[in-house]
Amino acid sequence: KYLKYREELSALINASQDIEEKVRLEVKLHDLNSEIKLLEERILYYEEMSGSTLVEVTLRTVTSE
């Protein structure tokens, strides 16, 4: 989901001729990339701590709720 949104934002930035819009979209893209990086780090952390893969952790979380 995030990766698709990142692709769409990149395409909009490349297509835009309006400098202000381009800057605004680049800020959104930067924020999105930061959020993706945090999620990836969190996934790795949970996998390391639990000794399980993300799918296993997700299944445990979903079934326990």
Per-residue pLDDT, 55: 64
DSSP state of 16: -
Residues 21 and 14: their CA atoms lie apart, in Å, by 11
Per-residue pLDDT, 59: 61
Q: Could you list the pLDDT tens digit for every one of the 65 residues in the chain?
A: 778 888 888 888 888 888 888 888 889 888 888 988 888 888 888 878 777 666 665 666 666 55
Residues 36 and 1: their CA atoms lie apart, in Å, by 10
Token pair 């952390």: residue: 45
Identify the domain containing residue 33 by its residue range.
2-64
Per-residue pLDDT, 64: 59
The tally of domains found in the chain comes to 1
Residues 15 and 63: their CA atoms lie apart, in Å, by 44
